[in-house]
Amino acid sequence: MEMKKEIVIFDNNKESLAFLTNFFKTNVDYSAIFVKDETALLKKLGKIKPDALVVGSPLELGKIRPREMGCPLIAMVSVDITNGIRSVMKNEIGYYLISPFHKEDFELKLRMAVQKKNWFDGVYSEKKDLETIVELIHLVSSTLDPKEILYFIVKKIADIIDVTRCSIVSIPAEERRHAYVISTFEDPKIENIRLDLKKYPEIRKALESKSTVVIEDALKDPLMKGVRPIIAPLGIRSIVVAPVIFRNEVIGTLFLRTSRTGHTFTEREIRLCNAIANAATNALYNAFLYEKLEAEKTKLEKFAITDYLTGIYNIRYFYYRLEEEFSRSQRYQIPLSCIMFDIDYFKKINDTYGHRVGDMVLREFAQRVTKYTRKSDVFARYGGEEFIMLLPHTSGEGAVAEAERLRKAIREYRFKSLKDKKGVTVSIGTVSYPDRKIKTQDDLITFADNALFTAKNKGRDQIVVYNSL
């Protein structure tokens, strides 16, 4: 049922008041609100935006300016006709009646005024929608941040359309059982909320049909029959799902929900959702592609400094950090230590179990040591079964304590790769700077290697400190 048009009346002339009272008493299309003074009028206009304002003329509106009413005005000229019409012309009021008043004349003027307001409201809404699209296009051309674009979309829609939910849902190509809320207007920090698509038949339909799905009444639509017990307590009434399509593939959906009783999305609101979804398509694809490339770049950068077998740093990255830390230690006389360790009898493991098991032992060894490594330390594979660790801001005593902690952690560990979960031991050599014999960064590695060689010759499973040689 269509709602009545609201008409506000501010006229104290007895003749026109009698006419208006009688007219609205018998008319079912309009709801009349009579106000007696300027204060009451301002108060009423502050609460509602009427479809038309009827005023007496000559106008005595004081601070009220007809041009700023935001609705059409109809003037009732009942006395002093000359001044009344002059007042109408001066204030550029489009509709007026001259006493004696006639019902048919007033009804025609009222209908024209309301239609004019509806037309202007429509034009204003279209203008606002176009401004949103232009703003979106401007944004997407100036940023490659998908999160920023996504949040702008949902926030703008929520500003223009009265919705209780406005989210962008992503549906990965490799997965059709779940969708993910990647942006919602309630909070820009909310992302990656997983949805079970069994509970969202409207999204599934949009995905299959690749077209906009409109649910006018979620409690009556056959599509929603299976989920009514879930949505009924939530008050969900009308739903729109606008798919974001790129090259005939749905890369996401614009998912809006409103729980207002009796409310459905208008054609204009649906058009706006589709327009924004279309405008966002290329931008979102480019943004996601850029994000993917950045992730690949990060992955490649990680591969460049990572040992392929163990997943820890490679010797190339270790030398880079060694140069950096050694230079800093020389400049500020900060202690710097180096630990080199070797898995005892590793050749025997390869000969007994094979190289594949040997590789698995190396991976487990690296993971075990990493677990006990401080964030500031640089742990890398030196080659074969040899590993090396750089300890910034660590003195000789601190290096020995750290080496002993690692030696015990390895000795106590049972390797899953080995039969009967046997353990292994390590031999460790340590060296620390400043030391009068250490002149270059290479000396640090050479002396740590010499200490390790001595530890292996002395029986393995022990720590040897270079300055004690």
Q: Which domains does the chain have, with CATH numbers?
A: 5-119 (3.40.50.2300), 143-293 (3.30.450.40), 315-468 (3.30.70.270)
Residue of 237 and 366 predicted with greater confidence:
366
**pLDDT level of residue 51 (50, 70, 90 thresholds):** confident
Tokens describing residue 450: 């010499």
What are the respective helix, strand and coil percentages of the chain, to the nearest 5?
A: 50, 20, 30
- Dump strand ranges (E) for 153-248: 165-170, 178-184, 193-196, 213-215, 238-246
DSSP characters for 68-103? GSSS-EEEEE-SSHHHHHHHHHHTT-SEEEESSP-H
Tokens describing residue 1: 């049922």
Write the CA distances from 78 to 140, 184, 464, integer angstroms. Answer: 58, 56, 112
Query: Which among 426, 420, 374 is positioned nearest to 398, based on CA atoms?
Result: 374
Residue of 90 and 105 predicted with greater confidence:
105
Whether 178 has a pLDDT exceeding 60, the answer reads yes
CB 416 within 8 A of CB 429: no
165 bridge partner residues: 257
Active-site residues, by number, are 385
Between CA 137 and CA 113 the distance in angstroms is: 36
Taking every pair of Cα atoms in the chain, the longest distance, rounded to a whole number of angstroms, is 123
Write the CA distances from 354 to 262, 300, 351, 387, integer angstroms. Answer: 73, 31, 6, 21
Between CA 181 and CA 252 the distance in angstroms is: 10
- What integer is the mean pLDDT of 145-169? 78
Least confident residue range of 178-187, 218-227, 348-357, 384-393: 178-187
Q: Which residues contact 161 (CB under 8 A, 6 or more apart)?
A: 256, 265, 269, 272, 273
Whether 21 has a pLDDT exceeding 60, the answer reads yes
DSSP conformation class of 306: B
- What integer is the mean pLDDT of 329-353? 93
* pLDDT of 1: 47
pLDDT digits (tens, 9 = 90+) for 228-287: 888 888 888 888 888 877 767 666 666 655 555 556 788 878 887 777 777 767 666 666
